[in-house]
Structure 1
């Protein structure tokens, strides 16, 4: 399994790869993960405990990308060299790349040379990388085209290409020359979360995710200023990212310092506790190919208010388990949050139950079944 981002990174693609690898290992598969190392040196394959499961992880020499708060990457011109070494050592039956950018690119090309089947999953919108290039707009445009052109070449190597939702698959098919992209949910083990099916005594809004530009957390902060003061809301923001300082400053300018708490990165126990204490989950991002955090919130029995963008409408049904709002529209977000926070006890619990019902189709067991079938080259549903 080739990953350009993996533990200890905290993001949707890394979390999916960790859960998929651990789930496959628990089913008896010999899973080897290829991922960037935390230093620029070659590490021997080592056993790492991921999601409570021991996995063999091959850490490659990687360098830090300064404009980004955590991103490390392998030099692209070394990717094939490392791929040859790992594939010769492991002799895998199948290669599953989680990214087409560096490690996945190298693995896919060497796997093709050796006749090893490749499965590719796309978690990336190349547009989201532009915030960190530090290049002028014209060069950004050229880089974007080159990135998608290279993605197309990589995906054409794969026996099957997947992405987390149907809308994300449609986006990929409309962006590059590819057809037959298969939507496969990232999956979630709902038993890890504890829904509390009752209205909350206080109004707590929760956001979980990276603090980056495309997440539009500023929209959430502006929306909070538009809520009725009598609602007496508090906001918990969980996650780290390059926008933390600017969001701190915005919080102060808006006079929300006493209402908003930035928790940074938290462990799983604290995260589950925050889900259980929240009244509503807010996801203002416009770049979600699925949103594992939103699924975790649903598994915790939370109503969700999310931007009507990309894949989020697959998770949020207006008036059922929450509401969709117009992207970047703080007034509309405030109005939809108000609908949840002022709902009758019966309506609130109905939204909670709808979230629990809606997340059932994203059970991780289904995801594992699907990828096992793809690895074996079986038609889906057989």
Structure 2
């Protein structure tokens, strides 16, 4: 079997975490003797380079789709890749398409992205199979687009246990990050972009610490287009003594972050799965997350984490304090339950799902 994997997101040396879930799917397919031809884009910060990259990307998709021989076109991120695939379908009606949705491609966060929704609907309707990263998003797209074709659940490549695991020694993890080993830490790993809720993280901490100071320190790991706004809010809320900000780190170094923290804050406005939350759980960090999307698939309030309504700063501050006030025994129980939850998403366990979808061996569909 040979497929053409199409994506406008793929890791590069400069941005090693950008589209890493797409790279994970490629690795799984190759390991299962499926030949994968890549037509992908890498992150560009310059607008002119970005437009040029899209033009070249679309041209490659059309060229390979018209003149190549593939069993499937495997499309990641529907909104920004729908157009060339829909054009191809006009010329090669029998070409088979599997579309892997990821979140904001079907639920736009940016108002400008709503212009792509008609193409997304057409692509999903014309796809032979659709892959969703969570049960929550499977139901969402099924209802939103009135889909009758098969929808499969595959959790974005899962969690690699060789990368993400519990050290059982937070001091060692803190040393690797040059953090104070005596401080207890609550953290967040996320891009500093619109929709990621970084502002809720900072505002909730300010609210919490202004009411009654806690013995905890806070860590935010990430970079993004709104980084200057992040720094300005840090200064405005006078959080420099309470919050440490580190730039985005590659996955092999994120394991230190997850092991250094007692709990992981996940303040996003929307998440199709939220793989970083599961990576944190694999390292023993319970998740305090927005009650949205795929997070509802794996957070069990009071057992392996806590929920707050998205954007509710007061409730987020309340839940952080609720966690801080737990006894050491209760925190340990939540940590162990988090590790157990992450095992259900172990790469070695879920990696069998993807090739089964391509080889028509699975019955998990809508």
TM-score range with shorter-chain normalisation?
A: 0.7 to 0.9
**Distance in 1 between the 2:202 and 2:74 partners?**
39
* 1:294 equivalent among 262, 271, 277: 277
Task: Considering Cα pairs closer than 8 Å and 6+ residues apart, tell me whether 1 or 2 has the greater RCO.
Answer: 2
SS at the partner of 1:178? coil
Q: Is the 8 A contact 1:307 1:326 kept in 2?
A: yes
Q: Deviations over 1:178-220 (max 9, x none)?
A: 1343222111112322314478853211111111121111111
- Matching residue of 1:190: 161
Which structure 1 residue ranges, 4+ long, deviate > 3 Å from structure 2? 9-13, 63-66, 69-73, 87-90, 102-105, 126-129, 196-201
SS at the partner of 1:282? strand
- Matching residue of 1:75: 55
**Distance in 2 between the 1:70 and 1:237 partners?**
28
**Distance in 2 between the 1:284 and 1:351 partners?**
19
Q: Is the 8 A contact 2:17 2:251 kept in 1?
A: no
TM-score, normalization: structure 1? Answer: 0.81
SS at the partner of 2:6? coil
Q: 1:13 to 1:292 in 2, by over 3 A?
A: farther
Q: 1:5 to 1:38 in 2, by over 3 A?
A: closer
The structural deviation recorded for 1:13 is 7.5
Report the RMSD for the aligned CA atoms in angstroms.
2.9
Q: Is the 8 A contact 1:204 1:280 kept in 2?
A: yes
* Gap regions ≥5 residues in structure 1: 40-62, 134-142
Asked if 1:236 is matched to 2:216, the reply is no
Q: 1:308 to 1:73 in 2, by over 3 A?
A: farther
Q: 1:223 to 1:159 in 2, by over 3 A?
A: same
The structural deviation recorded for 1:70 is 7.9
**Distance in 2 between the 1:38 and 1:162 partners?**
23
SS at the partner of 2:126? coil
Q: Deviations over 1:334-375 (max 9, x none)?
A: 121122222212111110111111112212234332221111
Q: 1:95 to 1:231 in 2, by over 3 A?
A: same
Q: 1:197 to 1:230 in 2, by over 3 A?
A: farther
- Matching residue of 2:29: 24
- Matching residue of 1:125: 104
Bigger mean CA deviation after superposition, 366-375 or 112-121: 112-121
Q: Is the 8 A contact 1:128 1:214 kept in 2?
A: no
The structural deviation recorded for 1:73 is 4.9
**Distance in 2 between the 1:280 and 1:216 partners?**
17
Asked if 1:162 is matched to 2:126, the reply is no
TM-score, normalization: structure 2? Answer: 0.84
Q: 1:221 to 1:196 in 2, by over 3 A?
A: same
Q: Is the 8 A contact 1:152 1:177 kept in 2?
A: no
Q: How does 1:366-381 map to 2 (within 5 A)?
A: 366-380=349-363
**Distance in 2 between the 1:378 and 1:13 partners?**
31
- Matching residue of 2:75: 97
Q: Is the 8 A contact 2:221 2:247 kept in 1?
A: yes
* 2:252 equivalent among 259, 264, 269: 269
**Distance in 2 between the 1:219 and 1:88 partners?**
47
